[in-house]
Amino acid sequence: VIKCKAAVAWEAGKPLSIEEVEVAPPKAHEVRIKIVATAVCHTDAYTLSGADPEGCFPVILGHEGAGIVESVGEGVTKVKKGDTVIPLYIPQCGECKFCKNPKTNLCQKIRVTQGKGVMPDGTSRFTCKGKQIYHFMGTSTFSEYTVVADISVAKIDAAAPLDKVCLLGCGISTGYGAAVNTAKVEPGSTCAVFGLGGVGLAVIMGCKVAGASRIIGIDINKDKYAKAKEFGATECISPQDSKKPIQEVLAEMTDGGVDYSFECIGNVGVMRAALEACHKGWGVSVIIGVAAAGQEISTRPFQLVTGRTWKGTAFGGWKSVDSVPKLVTEYMSKKIKVDEFVTHTLPFDKINEAFEQMHSGK
C-alpha cells in the first residue's frame, strides 16, 4: 500500500481537501500509476457541483493526467513498470462489439463499474481516514498515485513533457477529434464554434488542420477572442452584440448558414442555436458540451427534414489506446498545438485555485 497526497471531494459543492490517502496495489489486469501532472476540466467541476446523476462521494476526481507506471497487476501485458502513460476515461478493450465497430470509440467493457466509482471487481483502491473513497471516470488523476484498469491506459513516447500531454487525456483530443473524426470537416468549409474554452480552441485547431476557410468563434467573453484567433479563428462574435438570435446573425454572415457547427459549452439553448446556424441541405452540428442532468434538447423537426444533421461526440471519436499515442506523436512533430493551451501551472495543493481560474474564464 502506498500513502500519498490526493485531493478528496468529501461532498458535493465543497472545495477539494488535500488529504493523505492509502492506495492499494493493483489487482489482476490493473495498473498503478504515479501521476506527474493533471489538468482540471469542467467535467470535474460538474460532478463536484452535485449536478451529475452518477456522482458518488467521497471521491477523487480528475481525468486529464499523465504519469509513470509504478507497478502492474497479474496478467497485464500492454504496459510495464517505468512506462510513460496517459490514463483513459474511455477505455479500449478491443473485444466488445463497440471496440470491434469502426463507427464508435465507446468501449463498454467496464462502463457499469466505472459509472459506480469502483474498479471492475466492484471495489475501490483508495481509502482515507478509514473510509473507502470512490474512483472517478476510471482515472482519478487528482492523486499522486492512482489505480486504473489495464484497458484504460495508453503507453506514450517517454520523451513527451507530461505537464503538457496530460491535456490529451480529455480536452484537446475531444475538440480536435470532434472536427476531424466526428464532423469530418472538409477543405474550404465554413465552421462556427460556440464556446472558446479549451475544447473550443481545440475544435478551431481541428477545423484549421482540416482546411476550413472560415472559422467563426462565438463567446460572450471577448477576452477569449485573441487566443481563438491565434488558434485559427478567422473572426469572433458575441451573441450579446445583436438583438437577433445568434443563428440568424450567422445565417446572414455566411449566406444561409455554416457547413459545420460545434457546441462546446453544455447549454441546451446554445445546442439549438448551433444546429439552426447550419446551412440547409448539408449542415452538420456536433454537440460536445455536457448538459446538466435531466435537460433536453429541442428544435423544430423541419430543421432536420431540410437536411441538417445533429451529432454528438465523446472523446472526439478517438479509439483511445490506439489514438492517444499517435496524438502525442503529432504534438511532438508540431502538427498539433498543446503548449499553447496551458495558461497556468500551479502546485498540487493549490488545486482549488485552478478551479477558480477555470470558472472565471481565465
| pLDDT per residue as tens digits for the range 32-50 | 999 999 999 989 999 999 8
What is the domain-level CATH number for residue 73? 3.90.180.10
Which one, of 67, 58, 52, lies nearest residue 19 by Cα?
Answer: 58
Q: Same domain for 90 and 210?
A: no
Residue 74 lies in a domain: yes
Helix (H) / strand (E) element for 327: namely: helix 320-332
Residue carrying the nine cell digits 441538417: 308
Q: Same domain for 164 and 184?
A: no
200: confidence class by pLDDT, cuts 50, 70, 90: very high
Average pLDDT over all residues of the chain: 97
Q: Write down the pLDDT at residue 124.
A: 98
Cα 334 from Cα 312, distance rounded (Å): 28
Q: Write down the pLDDT at residue 254.
A: 98
Residue 360 lies in a domain: no
Q: Same domain for 147 and 200?
A: no
Nine cell digits for residue 250? 450567422
pLDDT mean over 146-162:
98
Nine cell digits for residue 234? 478567422
Phi, psi of 330, deg, nearest 5: -60, -40
Residue 157 lies in a domain: yes
Containing structural domain, residue 68 = 2-169+319-352
pLDDT above 90: residue 361 = no
Q: Same domain for 333 and 246?
A: no
What is the domain-level CATH number for residue 180? 3.40.50.720
**Do residues 167 and 46 make contact, with C-beta atoms less than 8 angstroms apart?**
no
Radius of gyration of the chain measured on its C-alpha atoms: 20
Number of domains composing the chain: 2
Cα 148 from Cα 153, distance rounded (Å): 7
Which one, of 277, 268, 205, 279, lies nearest residue 246 by Cα?
Answer: 277
No. of helices (H) and no. of strands (E), the chain: 12, 16
Which one, of 227, 180, 164, 239, lies nearest residue 201 by Cα?
Answer: 227
pLDDT in tens, 128-151: 999 999 999 999 999 999 999 999
Q: Same domain for 20 and 42?
A: yes
Q: Same domain for 102 and 125?
A: yes
Q: Write down the pLDDT at residue 54.
A: 83
Q: Same domain for 237 and 163?
A: no
pLDDT in tens, 295-342: 999 999 999 999 999 999 999 999 999 999 999 999 999 999 999 999
Strand ranges (DSSP E) for 171-259?
A: 190-194, 214-218, 235-237
Residue 359 lies in a domain: no
Expressed in percent and rounded to 5, the helix, strand and coil fractions of the chain are 35, 25, 45
Q: Write down the pLDDT at residue 52.
A: 85
Nine cell digits for residue 294? 435531466
Q: Same domain for 128 and 213?
A: no
pLDDT mean over 240-246:
97
Cis peptide upstream of residue 325 (ω within 30 degrees of 0)? no
CA distances from 150 to 33, 57, 176, 349 (A): 11, 24, 25, 28
Residue 362 lies in a domain: no
Residue 361 lies in a domain: no
- The predicted model scores a pTM of 0.95
How many C-beta neighbours within 10 Å does residue 354 have? 20
Nine cell digits for residue 308? 441538417
**Do residues 193 and 262 make contact, with C-beta atoms less than 8 angstroms apart?**
yes
pLDDT above 90: residue 53 = no
